[in-house]
Structure 1
């Protein structure tokens, strides 16, 4: 293991921000994040080798997708819009409508082997992934460096732990709004936003983490009610965080809002054209260019020192 990989993990946080809670059985490490990064971009995690995590979570979209929904490897239509991944380490709920998914380790398995819908298509064939990865000498070295406590074991537990570690490293706190560098239009938009939107889009991630109904209920996707079985939860979805919102469209859980202006208009607040323009300027100022261009989050073309 190189000295760089053996180094302890350091959270790149601005003053006043507290590091997220990390599961005791999966502590962060540089080696684990490096392994998770490579796995995130590896299409061998899908049944036919055509889809990786990054196929849907693109860095230029702050690890969202840019499409309303994304079909799976067998052409199964996607159900929901792909969410961005900025600061997911801090989120208490990790899907748009199932509060039972509370760890990134558990969430990582949903696209890999889930059935509603089928995405990467590995249900029933999960052991094919360790078999594929074990053939690669670089992967064998990376798993040994990342999981000395597990003796470098290559299995789905380690895969999920590494993916979760990389996703926790996706930290985004360097926007014009964070730096106090708002234009006059964006500054006026912040005042409108604080008055009309911040009751739900609150806190450092601009989400209260709760579930609300904004759009008319679609019986094909009952939202929170699918998890709880309660009629009052029909059509409720988690308040989406708004960091990098300007690059994560289309918007809403079904991707039905093709412009950010349309997304604002669908909320139960009355804004005239001028105030809408001001809010749009503020939302643009929540874009972290360093995050969506950070080479440490991009495809790793030399994971073991060679292209």
Structure 2
């Protein structure tokens, strides 16, 4: 009975993305999408506009894109980004490349397993306050509902609820857009597809070093993450990581392994942004690194940057909606 229920659950999850054309290489399976969040172009376009709209913040000063900049791999460039009221952030903003495939979506909260649920944290969360909309949901719905174009976009994206503007439809639209943030065209990817010369000799040496130094134990798979939690060093700050959610002492200072997609442009690094350079981040991972090993490792990590992803106009801030300029 248990195996039958598991199979049914997987079928329902996958059904939400089955009809969508992901445009993926034949050897890469599409991401799992919740059945109640099926992909559609109308939903993606609505989510894209919402992602870039500062009206999702309490004072109209900060959008999702204010912390997730496309040119930085949808990371931020700051150690930790303050919220709308100036509250200091708790953790470094992660990049969003291939986020549709992530089993765990934050540095240390295993309960957040869908993009729809995760999106509500910056919107409504208070530890720290980011967009600051907790208790202001009615105001958010009013703002969006006062825009005739938004009303049309919600109606097209969610005909099953007659375009009702709610936390559910907002989060589902933004999650749909985030699932299109696919980065699979880096020089390293092209090298793997047989493109001669896509990466340098030094980068190829870095690939070998990355494996020999044991980095692949955690940074594994297509996106260079095992999506699991690890402790690399004792954290001297207040953020104790996974233990805050589990209460188990052995989870102290454990954080999720981040993906290395676009890692060269997503700094500063570490869960708290305390590694200001890529070299510093590498040295904190690899003990006893020889002087002549740094350049190859850096060259390999730089080969994971997908420049197409960083400039794809389909992921950029929209300049038109409903046939008019925004």
Show the counterpart of 1:256.
274
Q: Which residue of 2 aligns with 1:233?
A: 251
Match of 1:194 in 2: 211
Equivalence for 2:305:
287
Paired residue for 2:74?
Answer: 63
**Residue number among 122, 142, 161 corresponding to 1:111 in the alignment:** 122
1:219 to 1:183, Cα distance in 2 relative to 1, 3 A: closer
Q: How many residues align?
A: 300
2:318 to 290, 300, 307: 300
Spell out, residue by residue over 1:246-279, the C-alpha distance to the aligned partner (whole angstroms, 9 max, x if none).
0000000000000000000001433212111101
Q: Normalization by structure 2: what TM-score?
A: 0.90
- Cα offset, 1:12, TM superposition: 2.2
How big is the shift at 1:182? 1.3
Q: Which whole-Å CA distance do the structure 1 matches of 2:29 and 2:254 have between them?
A: 29
Distance 1:139 1:194 in 2: 49
2:141 is paired with a residue whose SS is helix
Alignment-derived partner of residue 140 in structure 1:
151
Match of 1:85 in 2: 96
Structure 2 residue 202 is matched with structure 1 residue 185: yes
Partner secondary structure for residue 202 of structure 1 = coil
Counterpart position of 2:23: 12
> How much does 1:50 deviate?
0.4
Q: For residues 138 and 306 of structure 2, what CA distance do their matches in structure 1 show?
A: 38
Q: Which runs of 5+ in 1 are unaligned?
A: 1-7
- What are structure 2's unaligned runs of at least 5 residues? 1-18, 192-197
1:130 Cα offset (Å) = 1.1
What is aligned with 1:23? Answer: 34
Runs of 4+ that moved beyond 4 A: none
Using the TM superposition, give the Cα deviation of residue 127 of structure 1 relative to its aligned residue in structure 2, in angstroms: 1.9
Root-mean-square deviation (CA, aligned residues, Å) is 0.9
Residue aligning to 1:203: 221
- The answer to whether the 8 A contact 1:190-1:282 is kept is yes
